[in-house]
């Protein structure tokens, strides 16, 4: 669902149980759930002063960002980061690496 920004209905989730994945731009359980998407996640991480953030790929269930975690990767927050620079680093260093791995896991029935 990478960037889909819509909550799927229970019937869709039930029909594709453990086959729908999402990439979230933080280390769940931090900065996730309703209202945490896009730059809002990175703004919250910077406001909190975390030194590490990252990305999480998880299975989608009925709870927003609440499905079982498949993969996570940490990314360092750099001095002077803005939400935009942090977003780009998380994409390049974590999201773009994790998503293909998680997709392969689902496709090969490792999940």
Q: What is the set of active-site residues?
A: 24
CATH number for the domain running over 10-106: 3.40.50.170
The rounded distance, in Å, linking the Cα atoms of 17 and 23 is 16
Model pLDDT, residue 6: 81
Model pLDDT, residue 111: 85
Q: What is the dihedral of CA 103, 109, 110, 111, to 10 degrees?
A: 80
Please give the backbone phi and psi of residue 97, each rounded to the nearest 5 degrees, phi first.
-90, -40
- For the chain, the structural domain boundaries read 10-106
The model's pTM is 0.93
Mean pLDDT, contiguous 10-residue spans, the chain (111 residues): 85 94 97 94 98 97 94 98 98 97 92 85
């Amino acid at each position: 669902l990478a960037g889909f920004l819509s909550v799927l209905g229970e019937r869709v989730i039930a029909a594709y149980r453990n086959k729908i994945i999402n990439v979230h731009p933080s280390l769940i359980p931090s900065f996730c759930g309703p209202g945490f998407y896009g730059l809002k996640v990175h703004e919250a991480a910077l406001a909190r002063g975390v030194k590490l953030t990252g990305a999480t790929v998880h299975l989608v269930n009925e709870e927003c960002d609440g499905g079982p975690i498949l993969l996570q990767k940490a990314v360092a927050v750099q001095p002077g980061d803005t939400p935009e620079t942090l977003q780009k680093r998380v994409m390049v260093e974590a999201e773009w690496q994790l998503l293909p791995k998680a997709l392969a896991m689902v496709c090969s029935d490792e999940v």
